[in-house]
């Protein structure tokens, strides 16, 4: 697997004084009153806090009716930018169980460290991060070039985009829920097994669906797909680093354009939570199409889409871009590429 990362300016530095102030305010909130979120009240269920959508999905699928889950990152919000409110910090401190990805969201890491919960589930413990060299050859390169003040393992945080790694995290969540709530341990184990079976099937769909691709190279605006590329033998060419809102230099854009031409790329991928302007610009310059490749850092409308449906949309869009016939893994029949929004899989106009 090759990961080509183009352009990664340093993100803004987090304000440690602000973090401390938030924690202090949270302690006052806890003293004064109880929170109103579902995880705060619980109503007899296990109170679970999830740091962002991929962790929330695991909590809901494995806990089901036995858990009350609060997602710290609201639907449609870019998780890299999360700053916790005092109330959210209070919710973390009162949680029975916490699911998070250490190093991705500094304010979450600090709140978790202050929490007295005995059941803290760090996704990186079940699936250690890999350094995909996202900061090499970029502006502001170095241990903190992705803008996160890492207090844990440094590496690419997007482990949930490899279904097999995600399954490993799911197993750790199920085990910890069983410890936190022994009365429903058997249900947690059954739910975990069911989810792992679904993730295994998804992995098989990706393997079958991408094995005959005409090209193995794809271009994306956000360097989020290193694990996916690694697992399925693809090459990611990223315009930006892990910060989807950074701006590449003209020299970096020239490198992307050359890589796209040399590898027969037909599509520039963008994501759903940030503006597609940069991807549109690169596609227009090259006369290529644009399409969605969703890093699943958040889902705009969880009532209509979830991890499994969006990942299958990603597969269909990758197949279309890489020149692979899109077929159903279960029936072998042609599959229609799905698009999460109206901007997906649209040709970019040429000038």
Tens-place pLDDT, residues 211-224: 999 999 999 988 89
Closest CA to 176 of 90, 40, 62, 91: 62
What order of strands is seen across the sheet that includes strand 120-122?
67-71, 46-50, 97-100, 120-122
**DSSP one-letter string for 229-279:** HHHHT-EEEESS-S-TT----HHHHHHHHHHHHHTT--EEEE-SSS--HHH
Q: pTM value?
A: 0.80
Taken as a whole, the chain contains a residue count of: 351
Backbone angles phi, psi at 122, to 5 degrees: -90, 120
**Cα(195)–Cα(307) distance, rounded to whole angstroms?**
11
Looking at residue 162, its pLDDT comes to: 98
User: What is the CA angle 137-138-139, rounded to 5?
Assistant: 140
- Pairing outcome for strands 346-347 and 289-292: antiparallel
Closest CA to 268 of 159, 350, 346, 156: 346
Looking at residue 42, its pLDDT comes to: 64
Q: Take residue 77 and report the two structure tokens written for it.
A: 């919000």
Half-sphere exposure of 253 (CA within 13 A, CB side): 14
Residue stretches of the chain with pLDDT short of 50: 1-39, 135-153, 328-334, 338-351
């Amino acid at each position: 697997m090759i990961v080509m990362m183009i352009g990664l300016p340093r993100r803004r530095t987090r304000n440690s004084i602000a973090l401390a102030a938030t924690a202090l305010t949270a302690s006052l909130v806890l003293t004064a009153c109880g929170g109103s979120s579902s995880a705060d009240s619980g109503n007899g269920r296990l109170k679970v806090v999830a740091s962002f959508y991929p962790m929330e999905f695991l909590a809901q699928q494995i806990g089901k009716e036995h858990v009350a889950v609060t997602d710290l990152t609201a639907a449609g919000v870019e998780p890299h930018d999360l700053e916790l409110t005092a109330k959210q910090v209070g919710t973390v401190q009162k949680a029975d169980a916490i699911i998070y990805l250490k190093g991705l969201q500094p304010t979450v890491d600090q709140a978790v460290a202050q929490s007295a919960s005995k059941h803290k589930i760090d996704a990186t413990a079940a699936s250690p991060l890999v350094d995909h060299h996202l900061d090499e050859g970029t502006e502001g390169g170095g241990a903190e070039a992705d803008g996160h003040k890492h207090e844990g393992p440094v590496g690419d945080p997007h482990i949930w985009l490899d279904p097999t790694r995600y399954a490993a995290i799911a197993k750790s969540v199920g085990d910890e829920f069983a410890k936190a709530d022994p009365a429903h341990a058997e249900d947690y184990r059954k739910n975990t097994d069911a989810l792992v079976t679904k993730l295994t099937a998804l992995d098989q769909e990706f393997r079958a669906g991408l094995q005959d691709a005409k090209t193995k190279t794809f271009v994306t605006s956000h360097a989020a797909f290193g694990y996916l590329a690694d697992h399925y033998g693809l090459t990611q060419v990223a315009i930006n680093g892990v910060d989807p809102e950074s701006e590449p230099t003209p020299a970096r854009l020239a490198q992307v354009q050359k890589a796209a031409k040399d590898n027969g790329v037909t599509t520039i991928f963008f994501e759903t939570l940030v503006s597609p302007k940069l991807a549109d610009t690169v596609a227009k310059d090259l006369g290529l199409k644009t399409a969605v490749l969703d890093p699943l850092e958040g889902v705009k409308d969880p009532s209509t889409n979830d991890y499994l449906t969006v990942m299958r949309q990603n597969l269909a869009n990758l197949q279309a871009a890489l020149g692979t016939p899109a077929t159903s893994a279960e029936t072998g029949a042609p599959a229609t590429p799905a698009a999460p929004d109206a901007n997906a899989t649209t040709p970019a106009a040429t000038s």
